Amino acid sequence: MCTMIAQQIPALGSGKTASGWFDVRQANVSYDHPFNLGVEHALNLDFVNEALGPGARVAVELTAESARGLARTILAVLERAEAGGHIVEEPHAHPPHAHAAQAHAPG
């Protein structure tokens, strides 16, 4: 049975596909049937830029245990970085990829 549990958030980052890097603008998070992982339900993450079409997508499917471990680890790493004075928030920054334009070029 589908859970229909899903949320979307704006996200600023970069993702890499087989054709190169793209600017991530949204994260979709759901707990539902995965496409590939061999479990009934999984935490499904999609990092996307809808303006660039379906090729600008990085998908990850995790077991609930792995997703919880990842969430704890992300928070721990960010806490250490913040405590060390390494986090400078730049909410309107663009990823500094010299090769990013190549990922957007047709062909």
The burial class, CB within 10 Å (0-12 / 13-18 / 19+), for 12 is middle
Per-residue pLDDT of the chain (107 residues; tens, 9 = 90+): 899 999 999 999 999 999 999 999 999 999 999 999 999 999 999 999 999 999 999 999 999 999 999 999 999 999 999 999 999 876 665 555 444 433 443 33
What whole-number distance in Å separates Cα of residue 107 and Cα of residue 105?
6
What is the pTM (predicted TM-score) of this model? 0.79
What whole-number distance in Å separates Cα of residue 88 and Cα of residue 96?
15
What whole-number distance in Å separates Cα of residue 45 and Cα of residue 48?
10
What whole-number distance in Å separates Cα of residue 60 and Cα of residue 78?
21
